[in-house]
């Protein structure tokens, strides 16, 4: 009985080792490769300056200065840190991450800031021409009611415009230009 049990144990261990060796258990997992979408997001890394214009009933439109620092978080994600003055409301600052999910075939992003209590999770895609990225999410409006939100981003190498909508109505535009460093064109 002991010999049979020992032989079974040895055969099981040997069989598991052969199975592992022939099925790649001992190999390093292959790292995913950045897609064209990931590489395009990386092109936005840098420092940006521009304006934020709010659209609210009864309030005159007044562009406010804004700045953004976009950094790479490896080859798949970019991190944005955005600041502006909100006039009488004070300083606004927020940050988020944007990436591309090649399995779901959509852009994904997050956003948090100092004037809201919610964590936004966004999803979106480029239009057929590949020029406008639309991201959608739900967040509270200025009255606290959960609302369908989206933004449309049009980007060139050194400038971008994001137009924000709540319940289908334009409520904000961000216009930014890349800050050129000495010797870089």
Over its length of 185 residues, how does the chain's per-residue pLDDT go in tens digits?
556 655 565 656 555 555 555 555 567 788 899 999 999 999 999 999 999 998 988 888 889 999 999 999 999 999 999 999 877 778 999 999 999 999 999 999 999 999 888 999 999 999 999 999 999 999 987 778 899 999 999 999 999 999 999 989 999 999 999 997 655 55
Q: Provide the domain limits for residue 132.
A: 36-178
Domain annotation covers residue 161:
yes
Do 118 and 161 lie in one domain? The reply is yes
Domain annotation covers residue 183:
no
Do 113 and 89 lie in one domain? The reply is yes
Do 89 and 104 lie in one domain? The reply is yes
Domain annotation covers residue 126:
yes
Q: What is the predicted pLDDT for the residue at 136?
A: 98
Query: Could you give the CA distance from residue 125 to residue 148 in angstroms, rounded to a whole number?
Result: 16
How many CB atoms sit inside 10 A of residue 15's CB?
Answer: 10
How far, in whole angstroms, is CA 134 from its chain's centroid?
A: 12
Domain tally for the chain? 2
Do 19 and 42 lie in one domain? The reply is no
What residues form DSSP beta bridges with 150? 136, 165
Do 18 and 60 lie in one domain? The reply is no
42: domain CATH number? 2.40.128.20
Contact yes or no for 98/62 (Cβ under 8 A): no
Query: What is the pTM (predicted TM-score) of this model?
Result: 0.80
For 7, the enclosing helix (H) or strand (E) is helix 2-22
């Amino acid at each position: 009985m002991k010999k049979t049990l020992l032989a079974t144990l040895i055969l099981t261990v040997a069989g598991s080792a052969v199975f592992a060796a022939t099925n790649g258990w001992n190999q390093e997992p292959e790292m995913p490769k950045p897609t064209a979408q990931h590489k395009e997001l990386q092109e936005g890394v840098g420092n940006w300056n521009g304006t934020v214009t709010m659209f609210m009933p009864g309030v005159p439109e007044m562009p406010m200065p804004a700045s953004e620092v976009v950094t790479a978080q490896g080859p798949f994600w970019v991190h944005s840190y955005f600041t502006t003055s909100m006039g009488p409301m004070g300083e606004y600052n927020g940050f988020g991450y944007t990436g591309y999910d090649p399995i779901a075939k959509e852009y994904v992003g997050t956003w948090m800031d100092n004037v809201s209590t919610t964590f936004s999770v966004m999803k979106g895609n480029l239009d057929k021409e590949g020029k406008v990225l639309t991201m959608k999410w739900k967040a509270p409006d200025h009255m606290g009611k959960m609302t369908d939100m989206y933004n449309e981003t049009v980007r060139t190498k050194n400038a971008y415009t994001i137009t924000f909508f709540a319940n289908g109505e334009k409520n904000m535009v961000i216009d930014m230009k890349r800050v050129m460093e000495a010797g870089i064109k």
